[in-house]
Amino acid sequence: MKLTETTPGCSYAVRSIEGDSHLMNRITAIGITEGAALWTVKNDPKMPVLIYLRETLIALNRNDAERISVERDE
């Protein structure tokens, strides 16, 4: 599923990221890489998605979050 469709309080693993090299650079530099574990903290409509990843609370705008696929991590 897309990162924008995740439920707050649940944990996920990043499966794939779509985008050009510019976006990819920005996303991976902040620590969002394939296989990385994350919690969705807040996912309100029209607001950036808040995730917790590598000990960091990160706000990610919805357009970019759409391009990140994750799977549920039990």
Note the residues at the interface with another protein (CB under 8 A). 17, 19-31, 33-36, 39, 41-42, 44, 46-48, 50, 52-64
Q: In angstroms, what is the minimal distance from the CB of 29 to another protein? A: 4
Q: In angstroms, what is the minimal distance from the CB of 25 to another protein? A: 4
DSSP string across 14-53: EEEE-S-HHHHHHHHHTT--TT-EEEEEE--TTSPEEEEE
Q: In angstroms, what is the minimal distance from the CB of 61 to another protein? A: 3
